């Protein structure tokens, strides 16, 4: 199955690389354009020494990890992002006819190479942050950082799957999911402790966004938990992020069973 995935994705990537000029133009557009989002934070830091007790390099670590996770998830889960179009055009039936798992097919149907610009700017900000922090970490912390990014990617793929599944009922995609995906990224780009209590509680206890980067960053930077929760919280990060994908996959199965074809 994994081999098949790489065959299909490889074909996708090659086809997107056919238009070299437009690929490069798109890369720089996204790289610079998305990077300007962080320029906003830089401007704010010219007026203050730290934000909610977090210095600029520390905020760069938060921003870099969540952006990287989100951009990777966006690349991988593109098939789910465009699912509502597939359903509306009545093309989803085709997936059901093939002798492979539907979830796998949708996952392997698209790979958004064009999002690489966003990945690159996230890596740049993350790298700059780590460099300014002069992170003198042992191997286990570097591994933990990689593990964190992976967890965040799994988390956002889970959210994309949940968002896409609604399309089985509503045909149109559900725009409110943007609050959790794009809103989640924006929120997680800043220290969670600057937001209102109800928002924090929601993103710690209901949707575990806090575990995408905030708790892992507390561990990496050896900062005390502003909410006074137990010290093992950072280590729940990966399991909780996986849980989101697990819930998404379960919801997906319900959605597929509910699918009624459209079109004529």
Q: In the bound complex, what is the minimum distance in angstroms from residue 105's beta carbon to other proteins?
A: 27
Q: Residue 30 or 148: which CB sits closer to other proteins?
A: 30
Give 161's contacts (C-beta < 8 A, 6+ positions apart): 77, 80, 245, 248, 249, 251, 252
Binding pattern to other proteins, positions 39-78, x when CB under 8 A?
Answer: xx--xx-xxxxxxx--------------------------
Q: Determine how many CB atoms are found less than 10 A away from the CB of residue 115.
A: 21
The answer to whether 223 and 196 have CB atoms below 8 angstroms apart is no
Binding positions for other proteins, 221-260, rule CB under 8 A: none
Structure tokens at 112: 């958004």
By beta-carbon proximity to other proteins, the closer residue of 202 and 235 is: 202
User: Cα dist. 241→52, 225, 252, 253, 258 in Å?
Assistant: 25, 19, 17, 19, 26
Nearest in space to 241 (alpha carbons), one of 151, 118, 136: 151
Q: Rounded to the nearest whole angstrom, what is the least distance from the CB of residue 146 to other proteins in the complex?
A: 28
85 binds other proteins (CB under 8 A): no
In this chain, which of 25, 96, 143, 250 binds other proteins, going by CB under 8 A? Answer: 25
Return the sign of the alpha-carbon dihedral for residues 127, 58, 153, 177: negative
Residue 199 in contact with other proteins, rule: CB under 8 A:
yes
Contact between 176 and other proteins per CB under 8 A: yes
Which residues are at the interface with other proteins (CB under 8 A)?
A: 19, 21-22, 24-30, 32-34, 36-37, 39-40, 43-44, 46-52, 170, 172, 174-176, 178-179, 182-183, 186-187, 190, 194-196, 199
């Amino acid at each position: 199955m994994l081999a098949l995935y790489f065959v299909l994705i490889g074909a996708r990537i090659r086809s997107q690389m056919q238009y070299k000029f437009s690929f490069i133009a798109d890369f720089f557009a996204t790289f610079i354009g998305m990077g300007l989002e962080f320029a906003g934070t830089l401007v704010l830091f010219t007026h203050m020494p730290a934000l909610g007790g977090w210095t600029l390099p520390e905020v760069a670590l938060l921003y870099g990890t969540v952006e990287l996770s989100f951009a990777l998830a966006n690349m991988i889960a593109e098939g789910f992002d465009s699912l509502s179009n597939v359903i509306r055009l009545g093309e989803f039936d085709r997936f059901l006819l093939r002798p492979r798992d539907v979830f796998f097919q949708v996952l392997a149907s698209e790979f958004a190479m064009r999002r690489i610009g966003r990945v690159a700017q996230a890596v740049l900000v993350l790298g700059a942050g780590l460099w300014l922090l002069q992170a003198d970490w042992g191997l286990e912390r570097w591994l933990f950082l990689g593990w964190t990014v992976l967890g965040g990617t799994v988390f956002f793929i889970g959210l994309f799957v949940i968002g896409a599944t609604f399309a089985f009922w509503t045909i149109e995609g559900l725009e409110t999911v943007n609050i959790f995906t794009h809103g989640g990224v924006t929120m997680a780009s800043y220290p969670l402790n600057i937001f209102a209590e109800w928002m924090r509680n929601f993103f710690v206890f209901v949707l575990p966004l806090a575990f995408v980067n905030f708790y892992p960053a507390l561990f990496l930077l050896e900062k005390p938990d502003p909410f006074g929760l137990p010290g093992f919280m950072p280590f729940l990060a990966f399991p909780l992020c996986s849980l989101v994908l697990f819930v998404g996959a379960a919801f997906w199965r319900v959605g597929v069973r509910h699918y009624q074809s459209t079109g004529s």
